[in-house]
């Protein structure tokens, strides 16, 4: 093990610069995130609810499709196909 004897003042200054640069970087990324948030159009509560509903339906549809790919039981497949048709009808209503 090799020990270096550096003055404490040097170590503290180097650490302080490191913390300072990270702080500046964090401030820049926060400012950029704020700017991006202002650029995005704000949605009304009704639009947001509609978008959340559509995302939920799309997620449910993808789950049903993945289950349908591996389902072997004919009754279960029929149930999944019925659910898929229902979800697709609801998605058409959302658009």
Same domain, 22 and 66: no
Domain count, the chain: 2
Q: Which domain holds residue 12?
A: 7-37
Same domain, 50 and 95: yes
Cα separation values, 77 from 13, 62, 66, 74, 82, Å: 68, 15, 11, 5, 9
Q: Which residues contact 81 (CB under 8 A, 6 or more apart)?
A: 68
Same domain, 52 and 95: yes
Tell me the pLDDT tens digit for each residue of 23-71.
Answer: 767 777 877 777 766 666 677 888 888 999 999 999 999 999 999 999 9
C-beta atoms surrounding 58 within 10 Å = 13
Is 1 among the domain residues? no
Contact 18, 26 (CB under 8 A): no
Whether the model clears a pTM of 0.75, i.e. scores above it, the answer is no
Contact 50, 94 (CB under 8 A): yes
Same domain, 54 and 88: yes
């Amino acid at each position: 093990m090799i020990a270096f004897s550096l003055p404490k003042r040097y170590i503290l200054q180097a650490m302080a610069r490191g913390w300072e640069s990270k702080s500046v970087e964090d401030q820049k990324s926060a400012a950029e995130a704020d700017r991006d948030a202002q650029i995005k159009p704000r949605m009304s509560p009704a639009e947001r609810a509609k978008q959340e509903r559509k995302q939920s339906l799309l997620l449910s549809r993808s789950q049903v499709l993945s289950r349908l790919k591996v389902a072997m039981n004919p009754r279960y497949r029929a149930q999944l196909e019925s659910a898929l048709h229902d979800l697709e009808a609801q998605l058409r209503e959302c658009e």
